[in-house]
Structure 1
């Protein structure tokens, strides 16, 4: 069977032409209209000389321009990069150069960022987009192109999306997700939890995260409406749920906590909301209980970009006694606990590396065969997370194999921060670790060894960080020490640094 995720949209338009597909504050498009817009964008790309296998990038908040780009490009085999709009210019420039992206579609609010990128990247064409504005570059491009379905290119094992994730090497890696990957991930979503035809999904988790992007394919596959909210606002989100009769959405625990602080929630008609999916980190049982008292089910997901999204789900029907687990594997997926050194499968209850199997396993890292070889075994993905599976088949994530920090459910890799800080003229050596924090879960803290006679301050270190990294990645505290503790091989003993927080 030939699978193309752009054709998924065409199939849904054929089956449900009048159903609302994508909507936001200033626009509403049916599946028929959405498919025609995707066709126009595909035709525009062809007219512009792009071909199957080329890359284009999207620097947009959650809106319909992003999905028109994604599905239109996929129809003709062009690969879409979903850029993290929270990154700084040097970070974005690296990704655009590494991917060789030819086009950049961006929200007008990011025009200053784009100006800073023009001279630093291989991008040949820039298209400004603005929801509700028919006079922008993006809408003009659509207006001059054909709405007829194109001759499809790019199928099954061909990449459809590049998702850049930071790594322990300090440089982001491009995760290649194929048409097969995204199709089977959507099947897993729609067959594992309550994803009923006609449901209305609130897209508030950023599209540059797999937890925000994967549900878009599930909604097209399952025949659900996507309502876009450009950025999280705990007050507005309740108003949108009521006004748009939202049935389900994706969040992280910090978002759920902020939402509870909004006054007079009990006075709102929340009868439409069926369940809220929550991922990024473990959801406290007390938070699940609070939402349950409001008549809203909270479901936990353990997801991985290299697995095209969801790996496991815990839903309340599985029992509150299992709510401290990551749940059970999605339809058409498989998880095994394996010994990292030998890839030997371990029995129930034993802790080992979480390894993922199935058609959702990514194709590899863009232009990085060495990292691909390290991550992909014999048809499976080595997650780098440590866990166990109990006798009932529930997965428990017990530790991180690497030193990743999770702050506000954002993954932060110390090596990336260290690479920036070690280039400060006053820094001789540096190590970054996570410090427990009541609000964010963890915050990054830098232990810095000054160069001889350097008069650098903590404020200068933090300012240097903010100049080169997204705000959420920046260290929140700086501690100056005489030497970074290391073992005989020169490996930093981060455990010793973390002990200073206990």
Structure 2
């Protein structure tokens, strides 16, 4: 609720279209936001019904609106995993370029039947929707992700493709033996939000379904790069190459100068997909847009063949005793342990080293794994300063609406634990 109130007030929204199921939420918003107009999809005791407005031919037509390609079409708020959400201003031209670039890079035809289960308040849900409109392909909506319901829709609606995150793919595989899972209509599945483990890709390939990894951001209107079937299979751990018309480079984090192949730095993107800036936030805009390039805030490198490999989020970097620790490297080692289903590594305040890495992990069902088992395993694969100083087991990792792990919450938990020691 608090994030919703913040977004509505920050954006200066005046009108709200809502479904009747959300009426209790809307009642609270009336008193905490600057909203003036409320239109309900369904029956409401206080607000006009959308269907009734559309059907009422006595209403005078509104003023003609003139829009140009460079005008803002949508203010889409970032997921807020590193602080308060920022409103990315995406233009009409941005969406046209994103749809053209994506559908020219991966297979996307008018005959496709796209299952949209990713939320459309996120670019991973909205961009496939607008691209499907551009291509003329069918879209089938599901309000929430439920693996049983997804398999049912795939079978009955002959779904050919969908957008997902790794947690979704794992859930679909886990439930498949217990339902009438029929993957025969699926051509491919796009997966993003984090690197897709190679064994997960191979498990879907064994079912006859290609997995294409996408690296995308709100500020580039969706996809920046893809790895897909047909590319070098040995580079399945990469995020592939830029989507059509996109350009990227890697720059030194401190100097901003381009770095050679194999050297990690900040990932920069240029192209017609790059957003117009952050709404009402010139400082953040100036920090993100540099000489015509968008600074993603992600650390990565290009190999000698031009494939992009992501190392970590720049903001997730742990600096311990002057040494840089990328959580993704530690997480990969822990995930290789047979007993861990998912893990997230964050920095914990430390009086001697500044901060030290700690791991929050979820055990696989019916598997006994102790904290020391994980620490010892890390010490056999990593330099000691990179190894977690503690492993905290949880039933589930905190996630936002699109499945991204909320590292700020984990950092807060780690700091609170440190304060009690």
- When normalised by structure 2's length, the TM-score is 0.75
Which residue does the alignment assign to 2:212?
299
1:389 to 271, 286, 302: 302
Structure 2, unaligned runs of 5 or more:
318-326, 332-343, 348-354, 365-397
Counterparts of 2:404 and 2:281, CA distance in 1: 27
Counterparts of 1:168 and 1:472, CA distance in 2: 8
Counterparts of 1:240 and 1:433, CA distance in 2: 42
Counterparts of 1:141 and 1:261, CA distance in 2: 45
**Given that residues 212 and 229 in structure 2 are in contact (C-alpha distance below 8 angstroms), is that contact kept between their aligned partners in structure 1?**
yes
1:251/1:482 Cα in 2 relative to 1: closer, same or farther (>3 Å)? closer
Deviation of 1:152 (Å): 4.9
User: SS where residue 261 of structure 1 aligns?
Assistant: helix
Counterparts of 1:313 and 1:188, CA distance in 2: 11
Q: Where do residues 154-233 of structure 1 align in structure 2 (5 Å cutoff)?
A: 154-166=67-79, 170-233=83-146
**Given that residues 89 and 279 in structure 2 are in contact (C-alpha distance below 8 angstroms), is that contact kept between their aligned partners in structure 1?**
yes
**Given that residues 152 and 180 in structure 2 are in contact (C-alpha distance below 8 angstroms), is that contact kept between their aligned partners in structure 1?**
no
Which residue does the alignment assign to 1:116?
28
Structure 1, unaligned runs of 5 or more:
1-88, 416-430, 441-464, 485-502
**Given that residues 403 and 433 in structure 1 are in contact (C-alpha distance below 8 angstroms), is that contact kept between their aligned partners in structure 2?**
no
Deviation of 1:192 (Å): 0.5
Over 6 Å off, 4+ runs: 146-150, 404-407, 431-434
Counterparts of 2:358 and 2:12, CA distance in 1: 33
Q: Does 1:480 align with 2:414?
A: no
Q: Where do residues 259-408 of structure 1 align in structure 2 (5 Å cutoff)?
A: 259-264=172-177, 268-403=181-316
1:439/1:210 Cα in 2 relative to 1: closer, same or farther (>3 Å)? farther
Q: Does 1:99 align with 2:36?
A: no
- When normalised by structure 1's length, the TM-score is 0.63
Matched length:
347
Counterparts of 2:244 and 2:62, CA distance in 1: 31
Deviation of 1:288 (Å): 0.5
| 1:334-384 Cα shifts (integer Å, max 9, x gaps) | 111112333322222111110000001100000000110000011110011
| 1:61-120 Cα shifts (integer Å, max 9, x gaps) | xxxxxxxxxxxxxxxxxxxxxxxxxxxx22211111111101111222221111111111
| 1:383-430 Cα shifts (integer Å, max 9, x gaps) | 1111111111100001221028999xxxx9x99xxxxxxxxxxxxxxx
Counterparts of 2:180 and 2:163, CA distance in 1: 23
Deviation of 1:194 (Å): 0.7
User: SS where residue 226 of structure 2 aligns?
Assistant: strand
Counterparts of 1:371 and 1:391, CA distance in 2: 33
Which residue does the alignment assign to 1:29?
none
Which residue does the alignment assign to 2:361?
437
| 1:312-336 Cα shifts (integer Å, max 9, x gaps) | 0000210220100011100010111
Deviation of 1:157 (Å): 1.2
1:239 to 147, 152, 168: 152
Deviation of 1:480 (Å): 3.5
Counterparts of 2:404 and 2:100, CA distance in 1: 35
**Given that residues 189 and 215 in structure 1 are in contact (C-alpha distance below 8 angstroms), is that contact kept between their aligned partners in structure 2?**
no
Counterparts of 1:402 and 1:122, CA distance in 2: 33
Which residue does the alignment assign to 1:46?
none
User: SS where residue 286 of structure 1 aligns?
Assistant: helix
Counterparts of 2:203 and 2:303, CA distance in 1: 27
User: SS where residue 290 of structure 2 aligns?
Assistant: coil
1:471/1:354 Cα in 2 relative to 1: closer, same or farther (>3 Å)? closer
User: SS where residue 7 of structure 2 aligns?
Assistant: helix
| 1:12-66 Cα shifts (integer Å, max 9, x gaps) | xxxxxxxxxxxxxxxxxxxxxxxxxxxxxxxxxxxxxxxxxxxxxxxxxxxxxxx
